[in-house]
Every structure is written in C-alpha cells, then in structure tokens.
Amino acid sequence: MTTAPALASLTLGQAEAQSKSLLDYIAEGGQIGIIIILLSLVAIALIVAQLIQVRSARLAPPGAVEHLDQMLSAGQTDQAIAFTENPDNASFLTRVMGSALVRCSRSPFGFLELRSALEEAGQRETARLFRLTDGVGLIAAIAPMLGLLGTVVGMVGAFDTLTLADGPARPDQLAGNISQALVTTVLGLIVAIPATAAHTFLRNRVDALTTDVGEIVEDLAAHLEGASGAQRS
C-alpha cells in the first residue's frame, strides 16, 4: 500500500516538474547544452542570411540583365566587361558573364570558347553558393554528436556518483547527471532535425535558382555567338 509520505513526495516531484521552465531544462544540459543552444542561434542566422542572399533578384538583377542584353546585342563587349567589373553591379550573373568575357577577349580563339568559359565560371560561382550552405549542414551534423557527448558525460557522472556514494545512492544524487544525459540528447536532436531539413531546402533552392540564371546566361551568350558566326561567314 502506498503511504502518505510517498504520495506527498510524488505529488511534490510532479509539481516541480510542471513548474520547470525552458531555461531550467537548458540549464540542466550544462555547458554542452549551452553550446548546442549557441549553435542553434548560429544556424538560424545562417539560414536567414541565405534566404536573403540567395534570391533571383540578387543572383540576376533585372537591371543588370537589361544592360548586358543591350550591350551584347550591340556588340559592345568592352563596355559589357567594364559593367561586370563594377563592384556596384556585383552579382552571380555579372561574375559569370564577366569572367567568360574576359577569358574570351584574351584568348586567340575569341568567342569560340565562350560556352566552355561560361560553364567553368558558372560551376565556380555555383560551388561558391553551395559553400554558404555548408555551415548549416555542419551544425546539423555536429549537434547530435554534441548531444551524444552530453549523454556520455552525464552517464559517467552518474557512475562516479554511484562509486563515491556511501552505500546505495539515492535517486536525487543521480538526478542531475541523468538529467544532463537526457537533456543534451534532446537538445541535439531538436537542433539537428530542422537544420538538416533547412540544409536540404537551401541546396535545392540554390540548384533551382542557378538553373534559372543559367537560362538567362544562355540568352545573353546567343548574341555573341550570333555575332561570331556572322564574322566567320
């Protein structure tokens, strides 16, 4: 039969558990839990920065597309190069076109190697965008490992308590270490799951947007290829 003191103790324990705030749980995670929380804040900042930077209007500004279209259709490659080299016009589109135009202008083959120049520049700039998402992926990989580390540290502390206890260890002596073990695991998973989803989303977003910009580059390159074909004929 359950005694009155036992019921009172159980009721008190439930009340304390219900009164715990989120900060209390984070504090139970110890230093490792705080590190995981800091990583979550860094992940949020990286995701927001990516959503702001990786947009169609930032990768290929409509004004830049219009200016390059006008200059390349008129055969003004020098002006187009100067336009792409202007820091005020820096974007994914201008870096790709500018790199390809400079390479072709210095090559004895001229615009015959325009396609390969555009492809290499596009791959380089796309890899640069993918590297920006690697920070989110790194946090997604590290967070659960930190949670596992906190679990191991908490269990080691629990066993140390059992070893040093004078007789059988009381539950309250083990509670702190076990709580750290469980809380850090939960925190690591809470950070890792959305970070993994965000990393996949951002990579797919980069892939989709760079494909769209690639179509714009193809249209701009058609002006130069047409002019080059006319000169050969």
Band (pLDDT 50/70/90 cuts) for residue 171 is low
Give the pLDDT confidence of 107-142 residue by residue, as tens digits: 777 777 788 888 888 899 999 888 888 999 999 999
Residue 54 lies in a domain: no
Q: Would you state the pLDDT for residue 232?
A: 47
Q: In whole numbers, what is the pLDDT of the chain averaged over residues?
A: 79
Residue 125 lies in a domain: yes
102 and 81 Cβ atoms separated by less than 8 Å? yes
Average pLDDT value for residue range 20-43: 78
Q: Looking at the 3D structure of the chain, how many domains does it have?
A: 1
Band (pLDDT 50/70/90 cuts) for residue 6 is very low
Name residues whose C-beta falls within 8 Å of residue 36's C-beta, 6 or more positions apart in sequence.
Answer: 29, 143, 146, 147, 150, 184, 187, 188, 191
Residue 38 lies in a domain: yes
Residue 231, pLDDT > 50, answer: no
Which residue has better confidence, 164 or 78? 78
Band (pLDDT 50/70/90 cuts) for residue 7 is very low
Residue 48 lies in a domain: no
Q: Would you state the pLDDT for residue 105?
A: 81
Residue 15 lies in a domain: no
pTM of the model: 0.74
* Phi, psi for 135 (deg, rounded to 5): -60, -40
Q: Would you state the pLDDT for residue 152?
A: 79
Residue 13 lies in a domain: no
Residue 93, pLDDT > 70, answer: yes
Residue 21, pLDDT > 70, answer: no
Residue 16 lies in a domain: no
Residue 208, pLDDT > 60, answer: yes
Identify the domain containing residue 174 by its residue range: 25-43+60-232
Average pLDDT value for residue range 177-205: 87
Q: Would you state the pLDDT for residue 163?
A: 61
The C-alpha torsion from 175 through 178 and 180 to 184, rounded to 10°, is -150
Residue 5 lies in a domain: no
